[in-house]
Amino acid sequence: MGNVTKTIKYIDEHSLKIIEAHAKQENVTGSQLIREQIEVYAQRLERMDASKKLDADIDELIDANNNLIRAHNDNTLVFGELAKKNYFTFRFLFTTIGR
């Protein structure tokens, strides 16, 4: 991407002095410091947008997983009841045959 010049209006002088002083401490120009901060902010905005999309996808996966767990629990209860019935049926048959 080429260089773009953007005019930023109505920045108070105190803020600019702080930026220039901080830039001098970091051994860069005020423009470089502002440019870096704008780029960092733009990247953060991109991540936030991507995060919103991922959050929706993750919510769908969680719902699907919860549905599978509920179905598994229901199946476990059914198999448990069948096992109890079979146990009592076999017990009755074996006690009856054994007599």
22-59 confidence digits (pLDDT tens): 999 999 999 999 999 999 999 999 999 988 888 888 99
With vertex at residue 20, the alpha carbon angle to CA 18 and CA 25, rounded to the nearest 5 degrees, is 95
Q: What is the DSSP letter of 2?
A: -
CA atoms within 13 A of residue 15's CA, in its CB half-sphere = 7
Is 6 inside a domain boundary? no
- Residue 41's domain comprises 13-97
Is 7 inside a domain boundary? no
Q: How many domains does the chain have?
A: 1
Alpha-carbon span 22 to 38, nearest angstrom:
16
Alpha-carbon span 5 to 35, nearest angstrom:
11
Alpha-carbon span 78 to 6, nearest angstrom:
69
Tokens of 1: 């991407």
Is 85 inside a domain boundary? yes
Is 3 inside a domain boundary? no
Confidence of residue 6 (pLDDT cuts 50, 70, 90): confident
Is 5 inside a domain boundary? no
